[in-house]
Amino acid sequence: MSKRKGDVRVLDYMVKGPGTSTLNGSVVNWLALTGWNIHRAASEHESGIPGDVMTLEQIIHFDITHLTHRRTILDPGKLAFLNRHHLHKKVEGTTDQLIAERAAGIIRATYPDVDPQWCTKDYISRVLRVLSASWFQTNGFNGLQLEFAFQDRVIILQDVATAAPYFFRPPDYTSGAAMSLRKTVKGDVYCTEFFQIITPHISNFYEAQVLKQALKALNSVSYEDATRLHDALGSLKADLGVGTRDVMNTMRHALTGSKIGPSVVEVLGLLGPERTNKRLKGALTEEL
């Protein structure tokens, strides 16, 4: 490896590679591609030729006639690409327990004061499955098109701690990202009387708030039922007479403080009722 263009030391991968963030399979895959002209093989329409992302079993079935004679470049970007896809494969369906254990260690190191219940293998596995989905819908209704590929943010296991910190600690409403997201929703929609109805009943003054209405709407919903959660959020839009963006950006700001991430329904499912209520009330307190 150290003799190739794009000089690297093997020790570098022992220190910050397979043992911590880069998966063993992705390194083997990466090295195999440096000597195997797989694209030539594919162009010759040979059956059984896999794509760039390969398992060890697929690599074993190489064709010696397709070994490359060109000068090899070890591209770190290619390794990152392969590692991301190998990571996604491991967390599809049942998450690899070793991966979950390693991710939990990274979370504890990144956030020393994290609550132990958010470092269990079961919870980490659920987070990894959500973060490893190919595409996330931006919380819209009526089939709004998919807008971004969140999976690109999770390349190595270390990224788990920074890609969605709100799954492990409360959101920081003073961060630049949170304040930018907050500006996308008018104050009278976020937490004050939207209709500006003059009423002598002071108790009704904040009834049109998205945050307060969300607390009520989600109070009797099972957080394990994604359909019910989706419907509850949809009712906010209808009851308040506001747009989808107003409801979703308000919820996303209160729950995560981040504009980018999984759908609000997925966030709710992982946070659960206790943390959701605490964050909605916390965001409301920040505004009043």
Q: Do 126 and 179 sit in the same domain of this protein?
A: no
**Using 50, 70 and 90 to split pLDDT, how confident is the model at 286?**
confident
Domain end residue (candidates: 153, 169, 185)? 169
Q: Do 13 and 43 sit in the same domain of this protein?
A: yes
Domain end residue (candidates: 169, 192, 214)? 169
Number of domains comprising the chain: 3
> What's the rounded Cα separation, in Å, for the pair 155 and 152?
7
Of 42-46, 66-70, 126-130, give the range with the top mean pLDDT.
126-130
73 has which bridge partners?
5
Asked whether residue 186 carries a pLDDT value surpassing 60, the answer given is yes
Q: Do 138 and 246 sit in the same domain of this protein?
A: no
Q: Do 208 and 287 sit in the same domain of this protein?
A: yes
5 has which bridge partners?
73
- CATH assignment at residue 238: 1.10.10.350
Contact 248, 265 (CB under 8 A): no
Q: Do 136 and 61 sit in the same domain of this protein?
A: no
Q: Do 71 and 106 sit in the same domain of this protein?
A: no
Q: Return the amino acid letter for 75.
A: D
**Using 50, 70 and 90 to split pLDDT, how confident is the model at 131?**
confident
Q: Do 162 and 189 sit in the same domain of this protein?
A: no
- Tokens of residue 282, six digits: 């916390």
Domain end residue (candidates: 91, 114, 142)? 91
Q: Do 113 and 36 sit in the same domain of this protein?
A: no
Q: Do 286 and 219 sit in the same domain of this protein?
A: yes
Beta strands in 5-103 (DSSP E): none
Q: Do 84 and 97 sit in the same domain of this protein?
A: no
Q: Which helix (H) or strand (E) holds 235?
A: helix 226-240
Q: According to the model, what pLDDT value does residue 143 have?
A: 30
Q: According to the model, what pLDDT value does residue 39 have?
A: 54
Q: Return the amino acid letter for 212.
A: K
- CATH assignment at residue 83: 1.10.1160.10
pLDDT tens for each residue of 219-263: 989 999 999 999 999 998 888 888 888 899 999 999 999 988 889
Asked whether residue 283 carries a pLDDT value surpassing 60, the answer given is yes
Q: Which domain holds residue 35?
A: 1-91
